[in-house]
Every structure is written in structure tokens, then in C-alpha cells.
Structure 1
Amino acid sequence: MASKANAPGREDRGARVEKKSGGKKMTLIIASAVLLLGAGGGGAAWYMSRTQDGAPFQTRHEPPVFVNLETFTVNLQSEHGDQHLQTNLTLKMEDSSAADLIKLHMPEVRNRVLLLLSSKAASQINGVEGKKKLASELLEEIKQPSSERSPGHAVQSVLFTSFVIQ
């Protein structure tokens, strides 16, 4: 006689329970995969809708405006006799209204630039790093507001178009 553990009816029920449990797992895996693929497809569709003609979508801004300043010639701080700096600067402005504002205050801007340039020694501005530091100092000096009531100037960067130390 067969024992209860080995009874044929018991094994069938256990197998059915495992099959049902396995079926639920498979359904859960398939549903997860479908959701994951749907989310990936939605993300791809969103990204592709943001591109135009293969180039990423960008908001259109006005191109920068460049303002050329007249040549600056200054005496540098004395280290080894008299040394002079002759340089031309170009200011990169955010837009034409900012360029018009800086042109309106050009005497003040030129004064600030001259004072800063004449406070330097040739050894401070000779190398590339010295020139980069000088450009950032000039930028900070030029950005300062012209009066207490006016905002600072909208200068994006200061560019050297010529730089000669004699």
C-alpha cells in the first residue's frame, strides 16, 4: 500500500501549485518587461522630439556682440628699467543693448582698464597663466556698475587681440 507522502494525488496537487506559482512569476516578468520597454520607448520618443534635423533642440539666442576698445599703452611697474605694455582688447557682450550701455560709459571703462594695467609688472603678465589672470581681473573691473543705481555691465569675457611688452 502507498503511504500518504507518496500518494499519487498528493504529488499532482503539489505540481499544480508549483505550475500556478511559476505562471504568476512568468506573468509578472513579462508585465515588468513590457513596462520597462514602454518607458524606454517613451523616453526615446521624448528625446527625439527635442531634436530638429539631427541637431539637438536649442533655444535661439542673439549672437554675442563684440566691442573693440582703442589701443592701450601703459608703463608697467618697474622691475628692470622702463617697460611698456601695448594691448588691444575686445569685449564680448551679451547683446547689442549691453554693448550700447558699455559704449555710453566708455571713459570710465577705459580709466579702470588703464589703472589695472599700469599696476602690473611685466613678470606678472608675461606667461599664459598671467594673461589669463589679467583677463579675469579686467573682466571683474569692467563689470562693476558705473553708479550705485545702475546694474553691472553685461560683459561675458575680455579678449586680447594684441599684446606687446617692450
Structure 2
Amino acid sequence: MAEPAESAETPAPKKSKKKLFVLVGALVILLGAGGAGAWYFTRDTGAGKPEAAAPKVPVFLALDTFTVNLQDGEQYLQLDITLQVADQAQIDAIKLHMPRVRSRLLSLLSSKHPDELMSPEDKKKLTAEILAQVKQPFEPKGKPQQIEDVLFTSFVIQ
């Protein structure tokens, strides 16, 4: 009967540490890959920042047709103008003060002689004068309008 006691006292065979090292190694690799993936997807790539090279979308405001008598008294000018502005806020401000804008431009246009409006250089000069008139602040000590360009969509002298 001594034999069963001996078999109970014999230690169980030790499990291999090789499996433990494999499991720990796999766990380290998975955690490293997860950390690298998290870093890659959360890093700041500048995607939220506007690109300097991205073209700005133009914003236009077409004004009603202007018809004025020119200084010679026999001819008139019929003119369609479109303004290129900085943004929608500029359009809203100009529309709010449209009587003032039209008054300024009618005064400017009616002061011209037909021979002052014939050449391309004359039209460039008129563009600059219109730009200056529209950019003037609407209120005393107000900010000037942000007008980028004045475009003629119709230009008739008769």
C-alpha cells in the first residue's frame, strides 16, 4: 500500500514557459500595433486647417442697369455693372445701402463726356472710379466695403 502514497507525492510535470513567452510576446505586439494605429489616426495632419493654395470662390453682386445722360447732352450711357465682393456679408451691406450706391454711381456716370469713355484705358479708369465710389464707407467713420473688382456686363453709348 505504500505505492499509492508515492504516486501522490510525485510532483506534476511543469508547464513549459515557452507558451507563456509566446503569449506575452503576442500581447506586446498587439498593444504596440494598437498604439501605432491610434497614433496614426489621431495625429494632426493639418486636415482641419484651410489650405493656402485652395482657390477662393468668387462672390458676385449684379447691380440694376444704369442709364444716364452724358455731359454733351445728346448721348446717353447704358451700363450694367457686376461687383465682385469678399463675401456674402458685403453683399448684404451693399443691398442695405443700395440707394446710396446708386446715387454715387449715377453722379459719377452722368459727369462723364462720351469721349472719356471710348478707349479701353478710359474704361479701366472708370472701373477704378466706380471701385472708389462703392468702397467708400456708408456710415461716418465706418469701414470701407471689400470690393475686389468691378465688371462691365453691358456698356452702350448712344
Question: Which TM-score band (shorter chain)?
Answer: 0.5 to 0.7
Residue 111 of structure 2: aligned partner: 119
Tell me whether 1:58 sits opposite 2:52 in the alignment. yes
Percent identity, aligned pairs only, is 49
Cα deviation for residue 73 of structure 1 reads 0.2
Tell me whether 1:128 sits opposite 2:115 in the alignment. no
C-alpha distance in 1 between matches for 2:79 and 2:129: 15
Cα deviation for residue 124 of structure 1 reads 0.4
C-alpha distance in 1 between matches for 2:111 and 2:58: 30
SS in 2 for 1:111: helix
Residue 103 of structure 1: aligned partner: 95
State how 1:141-160 maps to structure 2 within 5 Å. 141-160=133-152
Amino acid at match of 2:145: H
C-alpha distance in 2 between matches for 1:89 and 1:144: 17
Q: TM-score, normalised by structure 1?
A: 0.62
Tell me whether 1:68 sits opposite 2:62 in the alignment. yes
Q: TM-score, normalised by structure 2?
A: 0.65
C-alpha distance in 2 between matches for 1:119 and 1:155: 23
C-alpha distance in 2 between matches for 1:97 and 1:147: 16
Tell me, yes or no, if the aligned pair for 1:93 and 1:155 is still in contact at 8 Å. Answer: yes
Amino acid at match of 1:108: R
Cα deviation for residue 63 of structure 1 reads 1.4
Tell me whether 1:137 sits opposite 2:135 in the alignment. no
C-alpha distance in 2 between matches for 1:146 and 1:68: 19
Specify the structure having the higher radius of gyration (Cα).
Answer: 2
Residue 88 of structure 1: aligned partner: 80
Deviations 1:33-83 (A, max 9, x none): xxxxxxxxxxxxxxxxxxxxxxxx6354641210000000000011xx500
Amino acid at match of 2:63: L
Tell me, yes or no, if the aligned pair for 1:62 and 1:95 is still in contact at 8 Å. Answer: no
